[in-house]
Each structure stands twice: as structure tokens, then as C-alpha cells.
Amino acid sequence: MFPKTLEYHVAPAVNSFIDWLVVDHAVFFDAVSAGILSLLLKVNRFLIWLPWWSVLLAVALLGVYATRRSLAGLFLGLLLFPIGMFGLWPMAMETLSVVITAVFLALILGVPVGVLMAERRGASLVLRPLLDAMQTMPSFVYLIPAMMLFGLGKVPAVLATLIYALPPVIRLTELGLRQVPQAVEEAALAYGATRWQLLREVRIPLAMPSILAGVNQTTMMALAMVVVASMIGARGLGQEVLLAINRIDVGRGFEAGSSVVLLAIVIDRITQSLARRWEPPTR
């Protein structure tokens, strides 16, 4: 047994720090919560407003554009049909709104951070251990700070999903920029390109396959978080899975779980195919 004399607990200090944040910076956290909730509700209302057949049609057309194959695009559109057949269409749109909001915020934050890490080696050395810790930490842990600072509901669910899904887009943005051939950069500089022009017109376009792969991974991780986030009020398909587990309702869990899988397949295939479209043609 570990000796009692060597024990030291940081829990009181952490609790005091959280209390200080919540009490002294309540206005800031209220503003962040209001902004995220406003964005989330707009996305959710739009998805609910869309007729179900128009969503299937849009997915099919996007699938055709991404994969360049008509049958593949049609198949991706039809994959969403069982979700409506199970009576889970509104919940699926609610889940999708959380994923879209979290991924949108992850891209706004992640791509610039990835660019910074690629441009400044010092920033990469500082942030890389943090990203390692974020990727190795169990997903349930992310619920704790989100819940402590924002309570229960959709906003902490979005924030927990955002933090969990953020590292891939940062890492793959940095990787893509670092893999741009040195000869191409030197040629652009020789033709008089500024550092900003080099980044905007040469490095980022050539790094787009890697950046879009990061978008794919971030989206998949956000979708994987929906069941966990339902524990703090995310609702949607995750809540159905959680209720099925609590009630040992295998059929209900199968329908909700299958719906999550179908959403994941559709999103994964479309984002992967879009990433391939940016790859340079091979000779």
C-alpha cells in the first residue's frame, strides 16, 4: 500500500481554480456559451427544415461529385434512408448539427494553429506534447471541464467534442505544409513571391490533400464522441444509444447504433473522396 505520508491531493486547488473561473469570468463564459448555442441552433433548425428527400438528394449529388461515380453517389444517398425508416431522422439531424458545429469550430481553430506550427518550429515543440496528451486522454475526461464550466446541455457537449476532435486537423495541417517540396518553394521565391503569397498560393494548395485528410479524421472523431457527449445533454442518436444501454433494449440500441454507423460511413466516404480530388495526378 502506498504510504499515507506521501499522499498529496491537488483536487482542492483544482476546485478553487474552477470556482474562480466560474465566479470571476462568468460574463466571458456566458458569451462563449451564447455564441456556440446560437450557431448550433441555426444549423439544427436548417437541417430540420430541409425535407428528408432533399438531404438524400444533396448527399447523392455530393457523393457523385466527390467519388466521380454515379452509382457510388446514389448508394451514399440511399444509406441515409434506413435512419428515417427507423424513425430517428430528427435525432440524426440533431446529432449532425452537433458534429457540424464542432467540426466548423475545430477547423477555425485547428488550421491556423497547424500553419503556425509549420511556420514556427518553437510553436511546434511547445504544442506537440499538448496534442499528444489530448490524443491519448480518454474521451470521458473531456466531459469534466466542459461540464464544470458550462453545466449540462448542448454547449458543453459541443465543446467536449471540439476538444476531442481538434488534434488531427492541427497535426495533418502541419504535416501537409512540411511535406511541400523545397524545390517548389524555392522556385516560387525566385519568381518574387512574398512569404504570405508562398503560403497562400503554393504551400496551402499543395497541402490540401493532407488538410482534408485532417478534416476527415476530425469529423470521424466528432461523430465518435456523440454517444459519450449524450451523457451531458447532447441528445440526438447518442441519447438513444445511452437509453438503450440503460434499459437493456437491444433492438433500440441496434437501430440507434446502426444510424450512427451509417452517418459515419457517408461522411467518411465523401470527405475521403474530396481529399483524393486534391491529390496531384500521377504520371
pLDDT digits (tens, 9 = 90+) for 122-163: 888 888 888 888 888 887 787 877 887 777 788 888 888 888
Q: What are phi and psi of 69, to 5 degrees?
A: -135, 125
pLDDT digits (tens, 9 = 90+) for 218-243: 988 888 887 788 888 778 888 888 88
Residues 214, 47: Cα–Cα separation, whole Å:
24
- What is the arithmetic mean of pLDDT over 104-113? 91
Predicted confidence (pLDDT) at residue 273 exceeds the cutoff of 90: no
List all residues 6 or more positions away from 216 whose beta carbon is below 8 Å from its beta carbon: 268, 271, 272, 275
At 42 the pLDDT is: 92
Query: In the structure, what pLDDT confidence band is assigned to residue 49 with cuts at 50, 70 and 90?
Result: very high
In percent, how much of the chain has pLDDT > 90? 18
